[in-house]
Structure 1
Amino acid sequence: MSDPKAEEKTHYHWREPEEVEAVAESLTTLGYKVDKIGTLDNLLERWRLKELPDFVWNLSVRTLSRNRTALAPAILEQLGIPYTGGDATAKSLTLNKDLLKPVLHWWGILTPRWYRYNRGEDIQFLPFWSTSILKPTCEGYSLGLWRFDNQKGLTALRQEVEELHQLFQVPILCEEFIAGREITVGVVGNSSTLLIGAVETVDAMGEPLNEQVLDLQAKRQGNFKKIGVDLSSPELQKLQQVALQLMKLLGPLDYATFDFRIAPDEQAYLLDINADATLHPQRSFAQIARAAGLSYQQLISVILETSLERWNQNFGNDIRGV
């Protein structure tokens, strides 16, 4: 297999420093006092010392646990501290794709067909579709995302699944690969929508992905770019409807992104819900905001406005904690 697998072990669940600094700088510019807590252990130490923040901009993703994104909101609720983003239930459901998939099916939202391979499972047959995406059930940023073609055979499938099991120590999702356009929809808002927009990932020539896969290696090589797209166009209206539906069903989320593949027959398949969408100034959400005419600082302001309205809070200029 490819070299990025070795890198994955050192890339677990950390926010990029540029993202943390950009959020903190924007909040400071908006007039707030920002105090970077860093970790949940630091938060609990502050609780012990009775030095808790008034409000937390939650960027916590923890490490090595299928509950990792749910830990911070659960602790913050217990401590009575308002925070940005979804609660423990929404964070856990959206992180664990093997649990999310049946729920999407129940809600009538189209998603690629899938199998779940448990650790130690004896795989008896190849998928019923020709090309699959293999990935850990509870990861993001394309960590451990590999393409598998049935022509490699059953032995190769078993080997690749076992290798992923060894790397990530979680069940592996085998998902039908959908060729076509890949579009990310971003939404800010709970009771009312403040922003919705989308970008399409295209190759260096500006062409849709089609048979290409945006795996970790491709992301790091930077051979793809994102361009703004109009969700009001007939073939993309379904994406907007699904994203808004899920914001209501899973909310309050404050903000989230939704990854879709548009097949050649214009069927829209939901690939992933990013309730922990990165706010890195060079990544999808910031690009969606720019396409909608908002600066990065305006995006942060809109998210903060949404969250404060949700908690019915007004802290003046004394919001602390990122």
Structure 2
Amino acid sequence: MIVEDPVRRGKGYNERILNGGMNVEQLPAPRGRTHNGSRHGACHGRVAIRPSRRPQSMRRGCRTPLFTQVPPALRTLEQSFPCLEEDDVRIAIAHNLRVTDDAEETVFTARETVEYLTSSIARAGHAAITLEVSGPVESILRGLREHDPDLVFNIAEGWADSGRQSFYTALFARLGLPYTGSGPLVQALLVNKHLTKLVAREHGVRTPGWRLVTEPRDPDLSGLRFPVIVKPNSEGTSAGITQKSVVANPAEAISHAFELLAQYTGGVLIEEYIAGRELTVPYLAAVDNEFGGVLEPTEIVLDADAERAYNILDYGFKNYRRLPVSTSAPRVEFQTPARLPDGVARQARETTRAVVHALGCLDIARVDYRLGADGLLYLLEANALPGLEPGLSIHRAAQLAGLDPQDGVVHAVIASAARRYRLEAL
């Protein structure tokens, strides 16, 4: 069953959040279901969720597992999975729907991806609820009260600033709602590339040298190796990155950083440019393998192009479909598994395991690297909400781990979240 939430947002979202929010304390006290346990300790029940509307007969009797067919890669978790009645589980897909080509909606979710997720959840035997969360707080709360989800499948990116993702998970946590993926603190950490690099470096992970620019004052760039790449600190989907982002000297770097600083309030990174190969490594906590859920690396291979002086995944590469019609599709190959020496592939997976544990990622993540000409791996960033649209390399990597190529990723995310919250038949 798929339930469509009619709430849509318009412009001025931030102002409506500030001026139109509903006080959570005004909502009715929880009288209905609760869930047992969480990563942070005992759960005190739900806030703002009405009593269950399901008949008592649906909450008793024979129970079926969350998945009637458990993939081999997940079988060691089978005994840990809650027993949920197949038709008695409501999963709300919290998302920001992309409806325009505006730059601020670049990280939002396409309608086709939402449709894929609803179908995947329905194929697991659950009720899929689409919950658009770009509007004011009261509309989000109204949707949650109306649909009363047992689990929130969270892919909400949010609008501006470094707290855009963590707003939603903080809200779900305050309401006592189980949700998939990392919590608000981890999301805020990963959105901030500077902080991610600091944590990674503290744990012995190699990352290109860098400086963070937060104000229009000349930074000290001594010790950095040029060329460097100048990019926003807290943006996604390569926003603010073009072929002109790679510069050869300090004067150009500072000038470009100040230009970006006028557009992006989260600061700007001036980072050593690593000429080499682009690798991305996904993580699924539910997968049982020798790398703790880290899947096969993918190499993103861009064909040589006279108009692309540098082998970088810039804004034009990731968003060419939403650029002017004259923009041609980039020639690219996603190689999964990446054609790497065994030692490098193993190192990428072991490093990713160390990174996701150090950062505190839950359920799903992705870590991006450069493999330099020196043969060394350099961490670029980590992502708590990697893309899930069909055709992405994470699905191929999951298939190589023994999961279903169509639904394995989505079902694995649900499985690990269900285990963490110890969800029971409701």
Assess same fold via TM > 0.5: yes
Aligned counterpart in structure 1 of residue 140 of structure 2, from 23, 27, 43: 43
Is 1:88 equivalent to 2:198 in the alignment? no
Task: State the match for 1:200 in structure 2.
Answer: 299
**Contact (CA 8 Å) 2:286, 2:413: kept in 1 or not?**
no
**Contact (CA 8 Å) 2:122, 2:128: kept in 1 or not?**
yes
Q: Unaligned regions of 5+ residues in structure 1, if any?
A: 1-6, 317-322
**Contact (CA 8 Å) 2:104, 2:159: kept in 1 or not?**
no
Give SS of 1:226's match: strand
Judged with a 3 Å threshold, the aligned counterparts in structure 2 of structure 1 residues 77 and 124 are, in CA distance, closer, same or farther, namely: closer
Give SS of 1:296's match: coil
**Contact (CA 8 Å) 1:56, 1:83: kept in 2 or not?**
yes
Output the CA distance in 2 between the equivalents of 1:86 and 1:252: 5
The Cα of 1:46 is off from its aligned counterpart by 3.5
The Cα of 1:280 is off from its aligned counterpart by 1.1
Task: State the match for 2:33 in structure 1.
Answer: none
Compare 95-104 and 142-151 and name the one that shifted more.
142-151
TM-score relative to the length of structure 2: 0.65
TM-score relative to the length of structure 1: 0.85
Task: State the match for 2:122 in structure 1.
Answer: 28
Output the CA distance in 2 between the equivalents of 1:74 and 1:124: 36
After TM superposition, the structure 1 = structure 2 runs for residues 118-129 of structure 1, keeping only pairs within 5 Å, are 118-123=214-219, 128-129=224-225
Compare 30-39 and 126-135 and name the one that shifted more.
126-135
For 2:412, give the aligned amino acid: V
Q: Deviations over 1:190-241 (max 9, x none)?
A: 6954561221111247xxx995111111233332120112678112211111
Give SS of 1:74's match: helix
Q: Deviations over 1:120-153 (max 9, x none)?
A: 22346577322111111111111112432225x6
Q: Deviations over 1:77-115 (max 9, x none)?
A: 111110110011111111101112211111111111001
Output the CA distance in 1 between the equivalents of 2:235 and 2:179: 23
The Cα of 1:161 is off from its aligned counterpart by 1.5
Output the CA distance in 1 between the equivalents of 2:105 and 2:153: 22
Give SS of 1:43's match: helix
Give SS of 1:134's match: strand
**Contact (CA 8 Å) 2:399, 2:408: kept in 1 or not?**
no
After TM superposition, the structure 1 = structure 2 runs for residues 54-73 of structure 1, keeping only pairs within 5 Å, are 54-73=150-169
Judged with a 3 Å threshold, the aligned counterparts in structure 2 of structure 1 residues 37 and 215 are, in CA distance, closer, same or farther, namely: same
Judged with a 3 Å threshold, the aligned counterparts in structure 2 of structure 1 residues 248 and 169 are, in CA distance, closer, same or farther, namely: closer
Output the CA distance in 1 between the equivalents of 2:230 and 2:383: 18
Output the CA distance in 1 between the equivalents of 2:142 and 2:216: 39
Give SS of 1:21's match: helix
**Contact (CA 8 Å) 1:184, 1:200: kept in 2 or not?**
yes
**Contact (CA 8 Å) 2:197, 2:380: kept in 1 or not?**
no
For 1:85, give the aligned amino acid: G
Task: State the match for 1:137 in structure 2.
Answer: 233
For 2:115, give the aligned amino acid: E
Task: State the match for 1:15 in structure 2.
Answer: 109
Is 1:172 equivalent to 2:268 in the alignment? yes
Aligned counterpart in structure 2 of residue 181 of structure 1, from 277, 282, 295: 277
Output the CA distance in 2 between the equivalents of 1:51 and 1:33: 10
Q: Deviations over 1:258-288 (max 9, x none)?
A: 1111112211111111111111112232243
Judged with a 3 Å threshold, the aligned counterparts in structure 2 of structure 1 residues 174 and 8 are, in CA distance, closer, same or farther, namely: farther
Compare 293-302 and 88-97 and name the one that shifted more.
293-302
For 1:15, give the aligned amino acid: T
Aligned residue-pair number: 304
Give SS of 1:269's match: strand
Output the CA distance in 1 between the equivalents of 2:295 and 2:357: 14
Percent of residue pairs identical: 24
For 1:135, give the aligned amino acid: K
Give SS of 2:379's match: strand
Greater share of helix: 1
Is 1:75 equivalent to 2:171 in the alignment? yes
The Cα of 1:165 is off from its aligned counterpart by 1.5
The Cα of 1:314 is off from its aligned counterpart by 3.8
Compare 233-242 and 285-294 and name the one that shifted more.
285-294
Q: Unaligned regions of 5+ residues in structure 2, if any?
A: 1-100, 321-328
After TM superposition, the structure 1 = structure 2 runs for residues 1-322 of structure 1, keeping only pairs within 5 Å, are 9-39=103-133, 41=137, 42-46=139-143, 49=145, 51-123=147-219, 128-146=224-242, 147-151=245-249, 154=251, 156-189=252-285, 193-194=292-293, 196-204=295-303, 211-219=310-318, 220=320, 221-229=329-337, 233-292=342-401, 294-315=404-425
- The answer to which structure, 1 or 2, has the higher relative contact order (CA under 8 A, 6+ apart) is 1
Judged with a 3 Å threshold, the aligned counterparts in structure 2 of structure 1 residues 57 and 227 are, in CA distance, closer, same or farther, namely: same
Q: Deviations over 1:293-321 (max 9, x none)?
A: 541212211221121111111458xxxxx
